[in-house]
Amino acid sequence: MSDGTDETDGTNRHRVLDAVLDEVSPSDDERATLRDAYEAVRERALAALEDEGVDGDVTLVGSAARDTWLSGDRDIDVFLLLPPSLERDEFETVGLNVGKEVFPDGTVEYAEHPYVQGNEGGYDVDIVPCYDLDSAEELRSAVDRTPFHKEYVRKVAEEHDGFGDEVRLLKAFARGAGVYGSDLRTRGFSGYLCELFVHHYGDFSSVLEAAADWTPPVRVEFEEPTKEFDSPLVVIDPVDPSRNVASVVSQDAFARFVDAARGWLDAPDESFFFPKEPEPIDADELIETLEERATRLIAVVFDAPDVVDDQLYPQLRKTRRSLVEELERKGFDIVRSRVFASENDASGGGGRAVVLVEANVGEQSRVEKHVGPPVHVREHATAFVEKYEGDDAEENVVGPYIEDGRYVVERDREHTTVEGFVRSDDFFGVGMGKNVETKVRDGYDVLVGEDCAVLLDEFGVELARYFDPKTPSG
């Protein structure tokens, strides 16, 4: 609890928020630069549409269009509004042709449709085709919603003084808490979600006060939903009531936001918005930490597959989760686990991925206790006894004996260490996700204990965060 009175708190809070706003609001210069970049792209795109003989338009969407973007953001989304009469094939072709016309050196990226990404005046610009619809009820694809989001938020902002600033504060706060972004690495709050929260609760502070008391399921409904949702956080899209804007938010992102909201309300401080990145740890610190913890740290290291983060991270997490579940089934007590990957370089490749597992003990006994059926369940019980006492029974089995009314045997444990398991072929029995499995099958290293120091060049900050998870966004 803060020691100050409410008034001092309020004053302090306002002082901090004003300072944050200074940091995160784009300056007039920045606005002008962005506007110039967009206008240049728009001009070339309109000309290209004309060359294609298509009666389309060009529009700026995203936070730049809604004046809710954070100073320093370098992304611009430019949408080509194409006539609904265009067939799918033609629609895609026109989109790509216009994109390549605007950015002859641009790259083709793939979401629901392919689109072109290029650079204009220091901004990353996406040129995305969508259908120019009269109503959101006619949506043909996810991107078709975007112009309607823009329209909706603009109307909200018109009637809401200071809307952009409040949204910017919330976005920056979520970013500081490590939960800003609806990508599958972050699984946090999208910009649109932040806008809807400010619209619903009124301002930045009211969102945080509400969040401090959030108990799942939390529901924010602008329209009667047309679908059932059972997520812990449900925010119905006012533009499409069959959609939960918060569907990607993970349990831990939700909890981290709630935790940060309480922290801020208790002791408002700029560090919530601009947390310091921890210093990378060095080999000596790693070795000392492992000695103090007396745990066994095991890292499985392999080439990161050349896929986007939205594919990579779900696969890495699946691998981590499956591995930990399998190890726990085998009696290992896993203190914590984590995944890291280094960024691919521009050519797409060269990155390394790490699945890190920290075990409570380095080595288990050779005795694996296996609890069988209750003795009274005759059919299963007899089969169990036959399996371990019959002529074809395994060797080196102690029992079956009876404990708590059940048959129990003690078998020879196959893997007494975590590294023994991950070095064996049994590791491939663990569900990994397609691209990760391919790379792991190509070859992987297993690092144990202080050998993990070789990771520090690339992952010193991640390991610092791992060992001191109080650090925000740990």
Q: How far is the CB of 284 from its own copies (least distance, A)?
A: 19
Strands (E), 375-444: 398-403, 406-412
What region does 393 belong to: left with phi over 0, alpha with psi -120 to 50, or beta? beta
Closest separation in Å from C-beta 251 to its own copies: 4
Single out the residue of 38, 68, 57 nearest to residue 165, CA to CA. 68
Q: Do 114 and 108 contact (CB within 8 A), yes or no?
A: yes
The least distance separating its own copies from the CB of residue 404, rounded to whole angstroms, comes to: 6
**Chain contacts with its own copies (rule: CB under 8 A):** 212-216, 251-252, 254-256, 258-259, 262, 292-296, 331, 333, 335-336, 360-361, 363-367, 369, 374-378, 381-382, 385, 389, 398-407, 410, 416, 467-470, 474
User: Among candidates 58, 57, 104, which has minimal Cα distance to 77?
Assistant: 58
- Respond yes or no on whether the N-terminal peptide bond of residue 217 is cis (omega within 30° of 0): yes
In the structure encoding, which two tokens stand for residue 435, read together?
A: 């691209």
CB 134 within 8 A of CB 85: no
Q: How far is the CB of 296 from its own copies (least distance, A)?
A: 8
Q: Please tell me whether the peptide bond between 241 and the residue prior to it is cis, using omega within 30 degrees of 0.
A: no
Who's near 126: CB < 8 A, 6+ residues apart? Answer: 75, 76, 77, 78, 109, 115, 116, 117
Whichever of 78 and 324 has its CB closer to its own copies, that residue is 324
How many residues does the structure list for the chain? Answer: 474
For tokens 């779900």, name the residue: 314
User: 29 CB contacts (<8 Å, ≥6 apart)?
Assistant: none
Least distance from C-beta 179 to its own copies, angstroms?
A: 11
Q: Distance between CA atoms of 369 and 413, rounded to whole angstroms?
A: 9
State the nearest-atom distance from the C-beta of 17 to its own copies, in Å.
23
Residue 232 near residue 217, CB atoms below 8 Å: yes
Sequence-distant (6+) residues with CB within 8 A of 277 are 461
Tell me how far, at minimum, the Cβ of 370 lies from its own copies, in Å. Answer: 11
